[in-house]
Structure 1
Amino acid sequence: MSEGDETLIAGRYRLEHQIGSGAMGVVWRAVDVRLDRPVAVKQLLLPPGLNATETEKARQRAFREGRIAARLQHPNAISVYNVVDHEGHPVLVMEYLPSRSLADLLDERGVLPPTEVARIGAQVAAALIKAHSAGVIHRDVKPGNILIADDGTAKITDFGISRAAGDITVTSTGLLAGTPAFLSPETARGAEPGPAADVFSLGATLYAAVEGRPPFENPGNEIAMLHVVAAGQIIPPRQAGVLDSTLRAMLTSEPQTRPTMAQAEAALRAVAEGRPDGLDAPTLPPSPVRGSTRLDLHPAADVPAAPAAPPPPPPQQTGPRTPTATAMPAVPPQRPDRSVPGAHPVTGPTPVPAAAPTGAEQQGWSRARIATTILAVLAAAAVGILVAELIVGGTDGSDESTEANAPVTTSSESAVSDSAPPPSEQITAESSASSSEPPPPQLLSPAELEQAVTDYYALMPGDVDQGWQLLGPGLRAQGEEAYREFWAGIESVKIVGGPTAVSGHVVEVELEFTTAESVTRERHQLGMVVEDGRALIDTDELLGITDLGEPDEDDDEDDD
């Protein structure tokens, strides 16, 4: 692969120019000639000094990790479109984002303001939450793997690439792939990294952004630094300001005492929006954060702020609102980007999820909780009084019952008459109120929903045309071309667990996908809609993914 080479990678990607390089590979800006869109193409560099068997294992691992990364979709993560073979080398095809890496920004500016760093960190943490919920660990969070677009959108890239290329550890040849400056202590000690390792690495990255250097002393060579990192003693931050307590919590030496990624995201978002993060910084020198500090990592953003009592429900609604057929309340709203396998991800910039309003009532974590609790009690009391009045009014035919179902009027108008409206007016008002209600959803039994999921996967991957017809509007809006492209790379899919209707229109299923290079087992939560009496798959949430290795491993064992 070289600049100006007219050879198409995998028959469809034409290289334009190199845009980056590192220990893990070389990245090019390219054009997908089939879809006429820019893409980033990364050729993975395998560790040197491997024999033929080790090289083939590393190559197959790269394909598996690339395909797993391709299943993860989030607005703050660079999407992996494809993983292909080019002249015996694994190549990742990814979303192209005109941007600069955080490492480049720090080289230019030295340090960034704490609130700007918190905003970047909150976006990256949101993407890592999605990955961790699917059982995927990034392993290599660092400034060079965070891209910042012109509009301020931050996206993390290279999911699973460190594992695909041999991990950031001492290899069998004695070489260290990458820098250990942003590793967690347990990873440096040789433990398998978990979600807490990503929390530490993100904290170390944000530390570098405000302090201008990683959190560990540099002894002069990478092997010695690995020992320093393993000891877990950080240099106390001096310029973190409002980020101080959050960084200290994320950089705790012991993984079990660090905040979860969700807690870290909430604290970072609070700092970015000018609110307290709810933390008390540990005393110096750095020591493991006490358990109570971890619990305090829920900032005021997690508590519904209420500057005023919530308005009462509209008078014409005397019962709970019935959801429409297309509403999917059981599917987490913060993950609309996850699509059914093969559906095209939404890659446009998406801001950090909005937090609760700021104001005098949010001066601190404790006061915010107290204020919210008082308001919640008052609101509940008000609702209780209203319900009691409605019940009493409904039993004796009093005027209050009639007024509760009539159109809203001004206070002067409502005081004009103490009698109920004529029957004809009452019927008109009730008809008007009922006509404004959405139509009731079309319902199918749990068994019918489960059968619809079974029927869908029985078609795949052989009948993509019919499968496309069984998707709801939510998934079809994401593009047929990418849907077909995904299934073109799948040799087989089978249901190994479920499907099980868990609530309403939600079905969970465990699937096993087989490609030419790998077998993966995945748990999915499917949101169903019913149109014209037929169940369609409208949303797809990836709940977990397991790499089962190469597809021919079991066959080889049977032959033996």
Structure 2
Amino acid sequence: MDSSGNALPTEPIGGRYRVEREVGRGGMGSVWLAHDERLGRAVAIKRVGRMPGESLPHLARAMREARSSAALNHPNVVSVYDAVEEGEHLWLVMEYVPGRTLAELVADEGPLSPERVARIGAQVADGLAAAHALGTVHRDVKPGNVLVGEGDTAKISDFGIARSAGDDKLTQTGLMTGTPAYFAPELARGSDATPASDVWGLGATLFAAVEGHSPYPSQSNPLALMALIAHEPPPAPQTAGPLRRPISRMMDTDPAARPTMADCAAALHRTSSGPTTTAARPAADPGPATVVQEPVVASAPPVEEPPRRRGGLLVAGVVALVLLVAGIAYLLLQGDDDDAGTASDEPASSSPSGRDGGQQESPEPPPESSPEEAPEETAEQSPEEEPEPPATSGATAFAQDYYGLLPGDTDAAWQRLAPSFQDEVGRDSFDGFWAGIDSVAVDGAQEVEPGVVDVTLTYTTDGSSQTEVRRLFVEESGGGLAITGDEVV
């Protein structure tokens, strides 16, 4: 007997799949462990059409799951091997993944570390991105549908309510499909599922994994929960560390503002690999921690020096310009008629129609005065142009100075990070990374927008070099500048 009191099938299903025991229960039916006697392997079988209220549309939806999942050949998607119809039942034969669901993992171990959740989430995002590329939307991304096996290998399962582009809708008015707790706001408001709603579901799943609970508090009435999701923005995660920004972007209330699933996968892979030069950028709001720990950043060395240097260049340029103009004016006022004619009528100086009527030797003065004027105009322009390139801005100079400290002086470099960012990176992780780098060279730096600096870096270790462009986010903190996050671009 299974947990619901139903007798286990005594004969092999489809003449080859011998059921051993129930191993789970999902929204589309029970999941059984079975032995494939033909191929000699363990498989998972989902039975559909036995639960109360299930009818033909449920069987059709299950067949659609088989078609959608069978088309996905991806290591992070649970494979569907076969579909067997026997009597009133439909059996979906799937890959058996020993382990626990992410929901069970969190229930057993409590909130998971951001790095571990990022590793799991990156794999799930890879699988969902493959589904989206084939036009299939999962529609029910949640912790219970993420299977975590040995070594934290993760797979997304249960495409039971998945729908491919072009499929007829089987959901009738009043029939809710999916798990309301992980619904995107647009779904709660009655819109159709899209890849963007899967992105929200994955973001909410990651939120639950690092926080230990779903984003919205549970409600006894599912409709009340959907109304809450539809009209209230999600809370910001509190213990997500480097996952704060990815989760916040995935759970943007505007579907159009969310990243694609492929972009999510790339961001999660970067986060799961741990800090490189620092770590992934946190949410824009640094939170109370920045205020509490301001003295740490205030002790950072020359955070205001770059702006002062730039001001000095501007003043010097203005003074030089004023002196230059005064000198020219003096020469014009003190010179003889020939000099005045050269200064004011240079284009006509070689013509007989000049002011001196040709009595003076006008061809000679222009060669004398022209070489003086050309350099003076060049000198006049250069002080204004020098400070303009982004490399002289405070944020850019601050970023260059930061890498100039590394890898030798990690203590001073560490003080350049905002306290909230220090909490996310961790001093041991920071020191550990730079201990493995022999040298780092700044090949270029540019402030692409205020406080956002793209730095081209070349790392060298054991004679081998690697180049990347890293985007630093620099903000005012504690009366100076501090790095609040970074990412690879």
Q: Structure 1 length as normaliser, TM-score?
A: 0.48
Relative distance call for 1:245 and 1:49 in structure 2 (3 A) is same
Residue 21 of structure 2 is aligned to residue 17 of structure 1: yes
CA distance in 1, matches of 2:10, 2:52: 28
CA distance in 1, matches of 2:441, 2:96: 40
Is the partner of 2:72 in helix, strand or coil? coil
Relative distance call for 1:230 and 1:75 in structure 2 (3 A) is same
| Alpha-carbon distance, 1:42 to partner | 0.4
Aligned to 1:132: 132
Matches within 5 A, 1:406-555: none
Is the partner of 2:19 in helix, strand or coil? strand
CA distance in 1, matches of 2:186, 2:180: 12
Identity of aligned residues (%): 43
CA distance in 1, matches of 2:169, 2:213: 20
Aligned to 2:91: 91
Aligned to 1:435: none
Higher CA-based Rg:
2
> Are 2:243 and 2:282, in contact at CA under 8 Å, matched by a contact in 1?
no
Q: Which AA in structure 1 matches 2:43?
A: V
Aligned to 2:231: 231
Residue 454 of structure 2 is aligned to residue 371 of structure 1: no
> Are 2:111 and 2:210, in contact at CA under 8 Å, matched by a contact in 1?
yes
Residue 37 of structure 2 is aligned to residue 33 of structure 1: yes
| Alpha-carbon distance, 1:107 to partner | 0.9
Which structure's residues are more often helix, by fraction? Answer: 2
Matches within 5 A, 1:20-99: 20-45=24-49, 49=53, 55-99=55-99
Is the partner of 2:152 in helix, strand or coil? coil
Matches within 5 A, 1:170-209: 172=173, 174=174, 176-177=176-177, 179-209=179-209
| Alpha-carbon distance, 1:89 to partner | 2.0
CA distance in 2, matches of 1:362, 1:231: 49
Matches within 5 A, 1:309-328: none
| Alpha-carbon distance, 1:171 to partner | 5.8
Relative distance call for 1:46 and 1:194 in structure 2 (3 A) is farther
> Are 2:46 and 2:93, in contact at CA under 8 Å, matched by a contact in 1?
yes
CA distance in 2, matches of 1:362, 1:80: 50
> Are 2:122 and 2:266, in contact at CA under 8 Å, matched by a contact in 1?
yes
Is the partner of 1:371 in helix, strand or coil? strand
CA distance in 1, matches of 2:98, 2:133: 28
RMSD of aligned Cα (Å):
3.8
Relative distance call for 1:111 and 1:190 in structure 2 (3 A) is same
Aligned to 1:281: 283
CA distance in 2, matches of 1:254, 1:25: 33
- CA deviation digits over 1:489-529, x for unaligned, max 9? xxxxxxxxxxxxxxxxxxxxxxxxxxxxxxxxxxxxxxxxx
Relative distance call for 1:244 and 1:5 in structure 2 (3 A) is same
| Alpha-carbon distance, 1:273 to partner | 1.0
CA distance in 2, matches of 1:231, 1:28: 39
| Alpha-carbon distance, 1:56 to partner | 2.8
CA distance in 1, matches of 2:49, 2:161: 10
| Alpha-carbon distance, 1:176 to partner | 4.4
Q: Which AA in structure 2 matches 1:18?
A: E
> Are 2:64 and 2:162, in contact at CA under 8 Å, matched by a contact in 1?
no
CA distance in 1, matches of 2:50, 2:271: 40
Matches within 5 A, 1:116-127: 116-127=116-127
CA distance in 1, matches of 2:53, 2:99: 34
Among residues 5, 8, 19, which one is paired with 2:12 in the alignment? 8
Is the partner of 2:155 in helix, strand or coil? strand
Relative distance call for 1:162 and 1:17 in structure 2 (3 A) is same
- CA deviation digits over 1:102-144, x for unaligned, max 9? 1111111121011100110001111111111111111111111
CA distance in 1, matches of 2:225, 2:162: 19
Q: Which AA in structure 1 matches 2:248?
A: R
CA distance in 1, matches of 2:223, 2:50: 20
> Are 1:80 and 1:95, in contact at CA under 8 Å, matched by a contact in 2?
yes
- CA deviation digits over 1:432-465, x for unaligned, max 9? xxxxxxxxxxxxxxxxxxxxxxxxxxxxxxxxxx
CA distance in 2, matches of 1:73, 1:248: 30
Relative distance call for 1:33 and 1:47 in structure 2 (3 A) is closer
Aligned to 1:266: 266
Which region of structure 1 is more displaced relative to structure 2, 22-31 or 267-276? 267-276
> Are 2:271 and 2:280, in contact at CA under 8 Å, matched by a contact in 1?
no
Matches within 5 A, 1:208-247: 208-247=208-247
| Alpha-carbon distance, 1:227 to partner | 1.1
> Are 2:218 and 2:225, in contact at CA under 8 Å, matched by a contact in 1?
yes
> Are 1:185 and 1:229, in contact at CA under 8 Å, matched by a contact in 2?
yes
Q: Which AA in structure 2 matches 1:281?
A: A
CA distance in 1, matches of 2:440, 2:196: 33
> Are 1:76 and 1:155, in contact at CA under 8 Å, matched by a contact in 2?
yes
- CA deviation digits over 1:506-560, x for unaligned, max 9? xxxxxxxxxxxxxxxxxxxxxxxxxxxxxxxxxxxxxxxxxxxxxxxxxxxxxxx
> Are 1:3 and 1:18, in contact at CA under 8 Å, matched by a contact in 2?
no
Which region of structure 1 is more displaced relative to structure 2, 101-110 or 82-91? 82-91
Count of residue pairs brought into register by the alignment: 301
Q: Which AA in structure 2 matches 1:371?
A: L
> Are 2:208 and 2:215, in contact at CA under 8 Å, matched by a contact in 1?
yes
| Alpha-carbon distance, 1:168 to partner | 13
Residue 105 of structure 2 is aligned to residue 105 of structure 1: yes
Aligned to 1:144: 144
CA distance in 1, matches of 2:44, 2:168: 22
| Alpha-carbon distance, 1:250 to partner | 0.7
Relative distance call for 1:36 and 1:224 in structure 2 (3 A) is same
> Are 1:183 and 1:197, in contact at CA under 8 Å, matched by a contact in 2?
yes
CA distance in 1, matches of 2:186, 2:170: 12
Relative distance call for 1:103 and 1:19 in structure 2 (3 A) is same
> Are 2:101 and 2:143, in contact at CA under 8 Å, matched by a contact in 1?
yes
Aligned to 1:469: none
> Are 2:189 and 2:230, in contact at CA under 8 Å, matched by a contact in 1?
yes
CA distance in 2, matches of 1:45, 1:222: 24
CA distance in 2, matches of 1:69, 1:251: 26
CA distance in 1, matches of 2:177, 2:105: 23
| Alpha-carbon distance, 1:66 to partner | 1.2
| Alpha-carbon distance, 1:179 to partner | 3.0
> Are 1:124 and 1:154, in contact at CA under 8 Å, matched by a contact in 2?
yes
Aligned to 2:253: 253
> Are 1:3 and 1:17, in contact at CA under 8 Å, matched by a contact in 2?
no
Aligned to 2:155: 155
Matches within 5 A, 1:383-394: none
Relative distance call for 1:44 and 1:103 in structure 2 (3 A) is same
